[in-house]
Structure 1
Amino acid sequence: MASRGNRVVVPEAKEGLNRFKMETARELGVQFSDYNGNLTSRECGSVGGAMVKKMVEEYERNL
């Protein structure tokens, strides 16, 4: 079975998610750029984890 990878389900959301990622990285002091091969897994993971945390908090506020 072939893997689908990270396909974009809602193309209009891609730009917004990229802005959100860069904003979160900046808040954490992680220097994201077009190439992130020089970053550690911990740095990249901290950005993804913080993004999820923010999204969950926003969802809970809107309940």
Structure 2
Amino acid sequence: MMAGRKNNILVPEAREGLDRLKAKVMNTTDPNAAKYEAAQEQGIHFNKGYNGDIKAKDAGKVGGSIGGSMVRELVKMAEQQLKNKNNLQ
């Protein structure tokens, strides 16, 4: 588990799948690199290692960008699943 991670997953077994989704939406193979990718896209200087000196606003932009992309992808997947289910009936 990464240092500083405070979110609790309702289904701990889903961690691997969520990490794969994070990597997918950020177009990277490494889910741990996603935050650096998002920071770069936002123009925020983010170091590998300690980043305790960045503004909370900037950290929120990075996390929000990743989380928002993940939510959009999850909604898209659910809609597709519902569409497929309705086509079978």
Normalising by the residue count of structure 2, what TM-score does the alignment of the two structures yield? 0.50
Question: How many pairs does the alignment contain?
Answer: 56
Q: Which protein shows a greater Rg?
A: 2
Bigger helix fraction = 2
Aligned-pair Cα RMSD in Å: 2.6
- Percent of pairs with identical residues: 32
Residue 39 of structure 1 is matched in structure 2 by 54
* Segments ≥4 residues shifted beyond 3 Å: none
Unmatched 5+ stretches in structure 1? none
Normalising by the residue count of structure 1, what TM-score does the alignment of the two structures yield? 0.67
Unmatched 5+ stretches in structure 2? 7-11, 20-28, 79-89
Bigger relative CO (Cα 8 Å, ≥ 6 apart): 1
